[in-house]
Amino acid sequence: MQKTILIGFLFWLLSATTVFAQPEATPSPTPQVPNDGIVNLPVMLDCGPIASIMEILQNYKELPTATGDASWRIPNGQMLKGRMVIWINPQTKSFSITIQPNEDMACIFLPGMNFAPFNNPGTSL
């Protein structure tokens, strides 16, 4: 009789701990906002062989207007460097900013419309 009670108690104890067990709460990921309020947002870029990117720019009749050396961060935190070119179509006012992470690939970093000189002196971003 005592054996039956002991087995029943052990069965209840094992099943009760399973029933009352709560899954560990996993914190939901929230962006870490530094004190200055700046956050890193992931960005999707259209990248491909230089010939393919050039074809897109030619379709919009955009011409190279300015160039420089740029650096940017990819989602894993790595910093990349490469050539940056600003392309503009003076008639349609379309523009594209391209980056070139290596000799064989280019990315359209930022396409846009209504390109114009900034003519609001004293205006901040």
pLDDT in tens, 13-54: 555 544 455 555 555 555 556 667 888 888 889 999 999 999
pLDDT in tens, 70-92: 999 888 889 999 999 999 999 99
For residue 18, the model assigns a pLDDT of 47
Amino acid at 123: T
d(CA 96, CA 110): 6
Q: What is the CA radius of gyration of the chain?
A: 29
Domain ranges across the chain: 46-112
SS3 label, residue 2: helix
**Can you read off the two tokens belonging to residue 61?**
């009749």
2 pLDDT band (50/70/90 cuts)?
low
